[in-house]
Amino acid sequence: MSATATDKSAKISVRGLKKSFGSNEVLKGLDVDVAEGEVVCVIGPSGSGKSTFLRCLNKLEDITAGTVTVNGFDLTDAKVDLNTVRQNIGMVFQHFNLFPHMSVIQNIMLAPVELKKLDKAGAREKAMELLRRVGLAEKADARPASLSGGQKQRVAIARALAMNPGIMLFDEATSALDPEMVGEVLQVIRDLAAEGMTMVVVTHEMGFAREVADRVIFMDAGYICEEGTPEAIFSNAQQPRLQEFLAKVL
């Protein structure tokens, strides 16, 4: 547990993170700390590297250079058991990625049962509790295919919470939804924020970012262009790139 993090209280500590796909450098050296209970929203234009950055936080992408430390574990250290670290990081994807061959409740029970965290009965009880929390208890035995987009994403959130993670990552969780379903998903995320979950949220919902974020990071072309409180970012932008971006999206 060699915590090389500079900020001891940080749940996530990123130093000099670089990521290249072939010769294309997508992340060009990022330094970010996320404190316990903090909600960080990442905004920026398409192709700025937001999602890649998020995917580096649980090492779904290989890290080209730099370090990513989560809960004191350096993900770039080959000796670190990624599976153990990931159990403490829930992730929600743009396209839900529910398992179509399983029922809703089986989707949620899979990890706790396979990883022997809970027995079947315990896992079912826990899954039902999570489904109630996202308002979908009556859909427990439905197949994902029969759900609406908003319902799917709420199930995906419940699934990500099944291992009781200390950190949640949201990768444009509402981008694939019809407008009338965005609200129900944001409400679930909002509730999690209120409960004090540590979260990194990549989003295009500026209003939401402004409302729930403790801190907003604006990324552009692989760099962190500007960061600060929602107030500072949305009402007092310093960088021309950010001003330009906000002018387009607000």
Write out the residues near other proteins by the rule CB under 8 A: 58, 60, 83-91, 93, 95, 97-101, 110-111, 114-115, 156, 159-160, 162-163
The 3 state secondary structure assigned to 202-216 is ECCCHHHHHHHCCEE
Residue nearer to other proteins on the CB measure, 152 or 210: 152
Residue nearer to other proteins on the CB measure, 123 or 206: 123
Query: Whole-number minimum distance, CB 244 to other proteins, in Å?
Result: 32
Work out the number of other CB atoms within 10 angstroms of the CB of residue 112.
21
Query: Whole-number minimum distance, CB 156 to other proteins, in Å?
Result: 8
Residue nearer to other proteins on the CB measure, 104 or 206: 104
Cα maximum dimension of the chain: 56
Query: Whole-number minimum distance, CB 83 to other proteins, in Å?
Result: 5
Residue nearer to other proteins on the CB measure, 52 or 87: 87
Please say whether the beta carbons of 31 and 16 come within 8 A: yes
Count of positions (residues) in the chain: 250
Query: Whole-number minimum distance, CB 103 to other proteins, in Å?
Result: 12
Please say whether the beta carbons of 155 and 136 come within 8 A: yes
State how far the Cα of 239 lies from the Cα of 242, in Å rounded to an integer: 5
Residue nearer to other proteins on the CB measure, 167 or 206: 167
Q: Going by C-beta distance under 8 Å and a sequence separation of 6 or more, which residues neighbour residue 232? A: none
Residue nearer to other proteins on the CB measure, 110 or 221: 110
Query: Whole-number minimum distance, CB 225 to other proteins, in Å?
Result: 27
CA dihedral 226, 228, 229, 231 (to 10 degrees): -50
Query: Whole-number minimum distance, CB 190 to other proteins, in Å?
Result: 22
65-70 vs 10-21, strand pairing mode = antiparallel
